[in-house]
């Protein structure tokens, strides 16, 4: 699928620092050493509703990863999927009386518009689950033929016991896994499974639901985790640098994905770092399509809110924090944007060489965007109070804020 247009990334003097980032699997920070081409896979949307602030916050985190790497003069090979067939999408289409493909296309188109407006750099490959099916089927067949998958009433399940390192991504105990599996798309209580946690790899065709040719698996559709594994292996291979998503994906999605890939290839790890963004809440509860407590990027844009202010609102929270969206968060971001724009609109100002270094240092330190904003705030405050004589400074600040934070001043 096509992704969306890239906003220009202005060139900056010098070179950024290598990214040190928190890895869920080890529970600590690691300095990534990606080589000349950094490889990242970020889990994309299930397109049954519009982009909300939680999605936007998660994609903002991984956009910063891409920007930090670009600033180290590396190429970035970024892959993102679209789960354009899955239970929640089919259920929503039935509830709304819509064709499921039309619903998926409409919401994916809106997501592209939101990402473009927020200046999120596009992935190099943007791949739908449906278009990945021909690559998924042989992987499921291989798992089954290797004894790592089994059939239950026509459906094919992955056996978590086939992976000795299962549990290594989330580090959760069996009881916690069971609870989360039931909450997040699994079916731990289905009778006949070898292990309650075993996830579905291939779902046999159900009456009234779409299905595809599954070769020796029979007609059906793919499970969720194998979708991302097939796309990541096809476009990035094993041992890529970062697997990203919100913290609700650590288990089961990223745990199961790592197991599938490790059993398939006999290699470890699937990803060198598993990076998870915190959850954005509204009125005390995680913002989610199923709960319906949502603030949409597109609705704010329609109300005339500047996308740069939305982006600054996202950046004002550390990506790993769980935080609450409020009108106050947006108001503060709008005020900050106005202060910054006033500061860079003057012909000269205080030197910004130190500021560029501060932004780079903050972002390389586990994407500390709030520290980067505080550094720009200090420069803008100095500009407002004393000003300065450096003619290159306002231009350098706008280029740095655009290139590293994705905010156009
Ligand atoms: N299609 C799958 C991933 S393969 C999926 O989880 N889709 S999603 O539309 O439900 O979520 C898309 C991304 O947004 C995921 O990374 C998810 O972790 C993240 N996300 C969802 N809700 C929130 C929230 N309230 N706060 C932060 N991130 C969220
Ligand atoms: Zn995924």
Q: Does 228 sit in the ligand 1 pocket, CB within 6 Å? A: yes
Q: Does 58 sit in the ligand 1 pocket, CB within 6 Å? A: yes
Ligand nearest to the CA of 247: 1
Residue 224 assigned as binding residue = yes
Span from the CA of 320 to the centroid of ligand 1 (angstroms): 14
Span from the CA of 349 to the centroid of ligand 2 (angstroms): 45
323-324 vs 280-282, strand pairing mode: parallel
Q: Does 83 sit in the ligand 1 pocket, CB within 6 Å? A: yes
As given in the structure block, the two tokens for residue 357 are 């270094």
pLDDT, position 290: 77
Q: Does 248 sit in the ligand 1 pocket, CB within 6 Å? A: yes
Q: Are 149 and 217 in contact, with CB atoms under 8 Å apart?
A: no
CA pair distance 392, 183, nearest whole angstrom: 54
CATH 3.30.1020.10 fits 20-286, yes or no: no
Q: Does 57 sit in the ligand 1 pocket, CB within 6 Å? A: yes
Span from the CA of 129 to the centroid of ligand 2 (angstroms): 10
Ligand nearest to the CA of 58: 1
Span from the CA of 376 to the centroid of ligand 1 (angstroms): 30
pLDDT by position in tens, the chain (length 409): 999 999 999 999 999 999 999 999 999 999 999 999 999 999 999 999 999 999 999 999 999 999 999 999 999 999 999 999 999 999 999 999 999 999 999 999 999 999 999 999 999 999 999 999 999 999 999 999 999 999 999 999 999 999 999 999 999 999 999 999 999 999 999 999 999 999 999 999 999 999 999 999 999 999 999 999 999 999 999 999 999 999 999 999 999 999 999 999 999 999 999 999 999 998 888 888 778 789 999 999 999 999 999 999 999 999 999 999 999 999 999 999 999 999 999 999 999 999 999 999 999 999 999 999 999 999 999 999 999 999 999 999 999 999 999 999 9
Based on the number of CB atoms within 10 Å of its own CB, is 43 exposed (0-12), middle (13-18) or buried (19 or more)? buried
- Residue intervals of the chain classified under CATH 1.20.120.640 are 305-405
- Which residues are bridge partners to 128 per DSSP? 82
| Best of 41, 48, 55 for a ligand 1 pocket test (most atoms within 8 Å of beta carbon) | 55
Nearest CA to ligand 1 atom 12: 45
CA pair distance 119, 249, nearest whole angstrom: 24
Q: What is the Cβ-side half-sphere exposure of residue 300, based on CA atoms within 13 angstroms?
A: 27
Ligand nearest to the CA of 184: 1
Q: Which long-range contacts link 365-369 to residues 24+ away (Cβ below 8 Å)?
A: 365/20, 366/20, 366/21, 366/22, 366/29, 366/318, 366/320, 367/19, 367/21, 367/61, 367/64, 367/65, 367/68, 367/318, 367/319, 368/318, 369/64, 369/315, 369/316, 369/317, 369/318, 369/319, 369/405
| Best of 80, 104, 128, 246 for a ligand 1 pocket test (most atoms within 8 Å of beta carbon) | 246
Secondary structure of residue 8 in the 3-state scheme: coil
Nearest CA to ligand 1 atom 4: 43
Q: Does 45 sit in the ligand 1 pocket, CB within 6 Å? A: yes
Work out which ligand 1 atom sits closest to the CA atom of 278.
27
**Cα radius of gyration rounded to whole Å, the chain:** 22
Q: Are 175 and 196 in contact, with CB atoms under 8 Å apart?
A: no
> DSSP per residue over 82-117, as a string?
E--SSHHHHHHHHHHT--HHHHHHHHHHHHHHHHHH
Ligand nearest to the CA of 107: 1
CATH architecture for segment(s) 305-405 = Up-down Bundle (1.20)
Strands (E) located in 83-225: 125-128, 149-152, 155-158, 200-204, 220-222
Tell me which residue of 61, 51, 72 sits closest to 370, measured CA to CA: 61
- Residue intervals of the chain classified under CATH 3.40.50.620 are 20-286
Q: Are 309 and 266 in contact, with CB atoms under 8 Å apart?
A: no
Nearest CA to ligand 1 atom 3: 43
Non-local (6+) Cβ contacts of 317 within 8 A are 57, 278, 323, 369, 370
């Amino acid at each position: 699928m096509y992704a969306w247009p890239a906003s220009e990334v202005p060139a900056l003097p010098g070179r950024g620092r290598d990214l040190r980032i928190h890895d869920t699997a080890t529970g600590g920070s690691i300095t990534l050493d990606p080589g000349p081409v950094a490889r990242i896979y970020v889990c994309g949307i299930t397109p049954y509703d519009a982009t909300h602030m939680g999605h936007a916050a998660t994609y903002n985190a991984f956009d910063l990863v891409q920007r930090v790497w670009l600033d180290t003069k590396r190429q970035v090979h970024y892959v993102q999927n679209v789960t354009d067939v899955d239970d929640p999408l089919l259920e929503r289409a039935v509830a709304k009386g819509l064709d499921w493909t039309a619903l998926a296309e409409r919401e994916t188109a809106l997501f592209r518009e939101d990402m473009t407006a927020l200046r999120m750099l596009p992935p190099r490959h943007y791949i739908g689950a449906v278009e990945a099916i021909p690559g998924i089927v042989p992987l499921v067949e291989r798992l089954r033929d290797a004894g790592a998958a089994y059939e239950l009433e026509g459906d094919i399940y992955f056996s978590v016991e086939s992976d000795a390192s299962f549990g290594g991504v989330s580090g959760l105990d069996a009881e916690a896994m069971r609870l989360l599996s039931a909450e997040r798309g699994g079916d731990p209580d289905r009778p006949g499974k070898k292990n309650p946690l075993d996830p579905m790899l291939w779902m046999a065709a159900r009456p009234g639901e779409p299905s595809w040719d599954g070769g020796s698996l029979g007609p059906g559709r793919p499970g969720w985790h194998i979708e991302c594994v097939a796309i990541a292996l096809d476009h990035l291979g094993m041992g890529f640098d970062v697997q990203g998503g919100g913290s609700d994906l650590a288990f089961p999605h990223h745990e199961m994905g790592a197991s599938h890939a490790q059993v398939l290839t006999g290699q470890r790890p699937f990803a060198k770092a598993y990076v998870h963004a915190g959850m954005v809440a509204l009125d005390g509860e995680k913002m989610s399509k199923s709960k319906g407590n949502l603030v949409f990027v597109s609705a704010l844009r329609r109300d005339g809110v500047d996308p740069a202010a939305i982006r600054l609102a996202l950046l004002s929270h550390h990506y790993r924090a769980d935080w609450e969206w409020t009108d106050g968060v947006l108001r503060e971001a709008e005020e900050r944007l106005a202060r910054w724009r006033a500061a860079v609109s003057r012909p000269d100002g205080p030197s910004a060489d130190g500021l560029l270094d501060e932004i780079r240092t903050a972002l390389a330190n586990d994407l500390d965007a709030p520290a980067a904003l505080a550094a720009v705030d200090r420069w803008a405050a100095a500009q407002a109070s004393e000003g300065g004589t450096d003619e290159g400074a306002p231009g350098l600040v706008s280029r740095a804020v655009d290139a590293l934070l994705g905010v156009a001043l």
